Chains A and B, each alone.
Chain A
Amino acid sequence: MSTATADLHDARVEPPVNYLNASYGIKSWLLTVDHKRIGLLYLATITFMFLVGGTAATLMRLHLIEPQGSLFEPETYNKLFSTHGIIMVFFFLVPSIPATLGNFLIPIMIGARDVAFPKLNLMSWYIFVIGCCFALAAIVSGGVDTGWTFYPPYSSLYSHTPVVVMALGVFIAGFSSILTGLNFVVTIHKMRAPGMTWFRLPLFIWAMYATSIIFILGTPVIAITVFLLGLERIFHVGIFDPALGGDPLLFQHMFWFYSHPAVYIMILPSMGVVSELITAFSRKKIFGYSFVAFSSLAIAVISFVVWGHHMFVTGQSVYAGLVFSALSFVVAIPSAVKVFNWTATLYKGSISYEAPMLYALGFIGLFTMGGLTGLFLASLATDVHLNGTYFVVAHFHYVMVGGALMGYLGGLHFWWPKITGRLYPDVWARIAAAIVFVGFNLTFFPQFVLGYLGMPRRYAVYPAEFQVLNVMSSAGASILAVGYIIPLIYLTWYMRYGPEAGPNPWGAKGLEWTTQSPPPTENFEVPPIVTEDAYEYPVAAEKPYPNAPGVARV
């Protein structure tokens, strides 16, 4: 243990043995079975994929400054939005929190030494990397232009782009997420520390458990769907071909059976992070623990019966549309429960505004907006007008970027001292959070208006009267980009040169804060025994009512 008088900036002081310095060399990283190292391997991979997807977005927004398109041919623009969607959905958002924060934190939060299947965990990462390689190969050889939705018959019969390579990338990455979900379910069921009952678990674990259920039940269906699409494309005969009596809508059913729950894969872990952040930075127990816990499960279950709302205008049966519409309203309820409970947690809390809290508060506001606009789309009648427009684009960016991504950034910041053992500069982090918030709203709020006014999505050109809003959106995108680059810089820099963090720099509750930063390989010096509920923050001294008789006026 370093001496108390050691200079905190002196990186030469010998730190205690932790998972980062327990062994050195590239092989110790590439052949590790430590869930914490694997989480970092994932972090590097998905950050890279985020930059790829972000580049595509940047090029799109630059192109859309001009009504007739400023940079690209429509065919190229098609490839850009497809690449952006595929990379961001399958190779960034789906694995983001589960593979990085989930892998790192789940065993520690439940008091275990590692996940149930560490070798499988490593294999998941390799499988993911191989999937990324296929996707990148597809991009490098021109990119697909089918949209991330790969609808046949265009994708199976008419597109001249490397659809099979890209589909293979998605298929392989899907297996990575199946194995991760499987690992998490078994870990959470079987490896909790003594005293860690289900209702003492941090809400992040409940959220990850619900997410893992979706991984297990949903992902195999997208796997078989892209597999069948690939077969049809390779052999020029298949089950979605109308010439053989096939139904392109069957592809859509199978595709969305996964892809709708997939969006809940993207948001649920973020909601789990927000539960952790709100409690830590209000220093208060969560309001309605079991409601929040069960709402995660409810979202996971109900998410599987709403997928038809993506198909309202495709020629789907009106009666099916009716059912899907009603159920889509129902799925909003558990999400709303969470928002109410977080807000109630804030009430009379001792709130501080460090960067993770700013991201969490931003999440609550932006996710609410995104969720409410989802109801416009869930309602069949309004969806007929809004589907295929920028309204949909704005809706899902509000929930996925304003929601999932901000939760991810907040979580990264919150647990960064635990992961790296070093503190990052919160001033810069707060500035970056503010820039992200402003940039985000400037980018995507105009898109609600654009969509409502009728501008179609996935179009490389648009009517001139929409230019002002498009330019606003592109300007916002440039600000947003700055907001994302700043944390890349300071988090990386201070990972090496920041002041050492103690076990609990935030004063937060949770098993992860009881062990050193960074944790030792086996997570805990002594395996923990849990005796208290989650979020047992000391209750603040009761304030008397200002006008109570006999009490001095404050």
Chain B
Amino acid sequence: MSSPEQGHSEHVVPVSVYVGVFLALLALTALTTGVAYIDLGAFNTVVALVIAFIKMLLVVLFFMHIRWATGLTRILVLCGFFWLAIMVTFTLGDELTRSWQINPVGWGGMIVPLVRHLF
């Protein structure tokens, strides 16, 4: 049975919040574009993804009202991203480890390729 909870239809988000988020998103877009013209090596990718992630959070939390949503909705959204993470992780796990040799030395023999691969 429905319980009249404080769903966000009762919650009115002030226009100032929307405008603030909008300006932040524009600023972050300018930032990510600008940073692309600076040489940070591998960190270019990291910075770009972090900024994209923050932009996504702003849209999800404020424009899509997850900030004020029920636990069920939040879990649902998290599940979506978590499942995507499962797909990416396990697939990459195969693609990137295919060249690893089966090392007759045993488990200890895996450490060197792992370290070499990471660094």
Binding site for B on A (CB under 8 A): 189-190, 192-194, 217, 221, 247, 249-250, 253-254, 257, 304-305, 307-308, 311, 315-320, 323-324
A5 vs chain B, min Cβ distance (A): 42
In the complex, are the beta carbons of A319 and B97 less than 8 A apart?
A: yes
- Contacts A304-B86, A308-B94, A320-B90 aside, 4 further interface pairs with beta carbons under 8 A come to A250-B91, A316-B98, A317-B98, A320-B93
In the complex, are the beta carbons of B97 and A217 less than 8 A apart?
A: no
Q: A190-B2, A317-B100, A319-B100 are in contact. Are A249 and B87 (CB under 8 A)?
A: no
Q: Please, which residues of chain B bring their CB within 8 A of the CB of A192?
A: 1
In the complex, are the beta carbons of B98 and A315 less than 8 A apart?
A: yes
Contact of A249 among B79, B93, B94, B100 (CB under 8 A): B94
Q: Please, which residues of chain B bring their CB within 8 A of the CB of A320?
A: 90, 93-94, 97
In the complex, are the beta carbons of A217 and B100 less than 8 A apart?
A: no
List 19 A–B pairs whose Cβ atoms lie within 8 Å, in order of A's numbering. Answer: A192-B1, A193-B1, A217-B79, A221-B87, A249-B95, A253-B94, A254-B87, A254-B91, A308-B94, A315-B98, A317-B95, A317-B96, A317-B98, A317-B100, A318-B100, A319-B93, A320-B93, A320-B97, A323-B90
The 4 closest A-B pairs by CB, nearest first: A320-B94, A317-B97, A317-B98, A253-B91
For the complex, give the distance between the alpha carbons of A323 and B90 in Å.
9
A530 vs chain B, min Cβ distance (A): 11
A190 vs chain B, min Cβ distance (A): 7
B116 vs chain A, min Cβ distance (A): 15
For the complex, give the distance between the alpha carbons of A190 and B79 in Å.
19
Q: Please provide the chain B residues from 63 to 119 with a CB less than 8 Å away from any CB of chain A in the complex.
A: 72, 79-80, 83, 86-87, 90-91, 93-98, 100, 102
In the complex, are the beta carbons of B90 and A308 less than 8 A apart?
A: yes
Q: Please, which residues of chain B bring their CB within 8 A of the CB of A307?
A: 90
Q: Please, which residues of chain B bring their CB within 8 A of the CB of A318?
A: 100, 102
For the complex, give the distance between the alpha carbons of A304 and B87 in Å.
8
**Range for the number of chain B residues in contact with chain A:** 10 to 19
For the complex, give the distance between the alpha carbons of A190 and B102 in Å.
52
In the complex, are the beta carbons of A305 and B90 less than 8 A apart?
A: yes
In the complex, are the beta carbons of A317 and B91 less than 8 A apart?
A: no
Q: Please, which residues of chain B bring their CB within 8 A of the CB of A316?
A: 94, 98
For the complex, give the distance between the alpha carbons of A247 and B95 in Å.
9
Q: Please, which residues of chain B bring their CB within 8 A of the CB of A217?
A: 79-80, 83
Q: Please, which residues of chain B bring their CB within 8 A of the CB of A317?
A: 93-98, 100
In the complex, are the beta carbons of A189 and B94 less than 8 A apart?
A: no
A257 — nearest CB in chain B belongs to which residue?
B87
A221 — nearest CB in chain B belongs to which residue?
B87
For the complex, give the distance between the alpha carbons of A194 and B2 in Å.
9
B117 vs chain A, min Cβ distance (A): 12
In the complex, are the beta carbons of B1 and A305 less than 8 A apart?
A: no
For the complex, give the distance between the alpha carbons of A194 and B1 in Å.
6
Q: Please, which residues of chain A bring their CB within 8 A of the CB of B91?
A: 250, 253-254, 257
A207 vs chain B, min Cβ distance (A): 19
Q: Please provide the chain B residues from 16 to 68 with a CB less than 8 Å away from any CB of chain A in the complex.
A: none
For the complex, give the distance between the alpha carbons of A307 and B89 in Å.
13
A252 vs chain B, min Cβ distance (A): 10
A182 vs chain B, min Cβ distance (A): 11
For the complex, give the distance between the alpha carbons of A221 and B72 in Å.
23
For the complex, give the distance between the alpha carbons of A253 and B86 in Å.
12
* Among B94, B95, B100, residue most surrounded by chain A Cβ atoms (within 10 Å): B94
Q: Please, which residues of chain A bring their CB within 8 A of the CB of B1?
A: 192-194
For the complex, give the distance between the alpha carbons of A250 and B1 in Å.
45
A307 — nearest CB in chain B belongs to which residue?
B90
Q: Please, which residues of chain B bring their CB within 8 A of the CB of A194?
A: 1
A107 vs chain B, min Cβ distance (A): 15
A475 vs chain B, min Cβ distance (A): 42
For the complex, give the distance between the alpha carbons of A249 and B102 in Å.
20
Q: Please, which residues of chain A bring their CB within 8 A of the CB of B83?
A: 217, 304
Q: Please, which residues of chain B bring their CB within 8 A of the CB of A319?
A: 93, 97, 100
For the complex, give the distance between the alpha carbons of A189 and B70 in Å.
13
Q: Please, which residues of chain B bring their CB within 8 A of the CB of A323?
A: 90, 93
Q: Please, which residues of chain B bring their CB within 8 A of the CB of A190?
A: 2
For the complex, give the distance between the alpha carbons of A247 and B98 in Å.
12
Q: Please, which residues of chain B bring their CB within 8 A of the CB of A315?
A: 98
Q: Please, which residues of chain A bring their CB within 8 A of the CB of B95?
A: 247, 249-250, 317
A311 — nearest CB in chain B belongs to which residue?
B94
For the complex, give the distance between the alpha carbons of A311 and B87 in Å.
15
A30 vs chain B, min Cβ distance (A): 32
Q: Please, which residues of chain A bring their CB within 8 A of the CB of B93?
A: 317, 319-320, 323
Q: Please, which residues of chain A bring their CB within 8 A of the CB of B94?
A: 249, 253, 308, 311, 316-317, 320
For the complex, give the distance between the alpha carbons of A320 and B98 in Å.
8
Q: A249-B94, A304-B86 are in contact. Are A189 and B72 (CB under 8 A)?
A: yes
Q: Please, which residues of chain A bring their CB within 8 A of the CB of B90?
A: 253, 305, 307-308, 320, 323-324
A297 vs chain B, min Cβ distance (A): 12
B65 vs chain A, min Cβ distance (A): 18
A227 vs chain B, min Cβ distance (A): 16
B100 — nearest CB in chain A belongs to which residue?
A319
For the complex, give the distance between the alpha carbons of A317 and B97 in Å.
6
Q: Please, which residues of chain A bring their CB within 8 A of the CB of B87?
A: 221, 253-254, 257
For the complex, give the distance between the alpha carbons of A324 and B100 in Å.
17
Q: Please, which residues of chain A bring their CB within 8 A of the CB of B96?
A: 317
For the complex, give the distance between the alpha carbons of A317 and B101 in Å.
9
B105 vs chain A, min Cβ distance (A): 15
Q: Please, which residues of chain A bring their CB within 8 A of the CB of B79?
A: 217
Q: Please, which residues of chain A bring their CB within 8 A of the CB of B86?
A: 304-305
A395 vs chain B, min Cβ distance (A): 23
A189 — nearest CB in chain B belongs to which residue?
B72
Q: Please, which residues of chain A bring their CB within 8 A of the CB of B97?
A: 317, 319-320
A551 vs chain B, min Cβ distance (A): 50
For the complex, give the distance between the alpha carbons of A427 and B79 in Å.
48
For the complex, give the distance between the alpha carbons of A307 and B1 in Å.
38
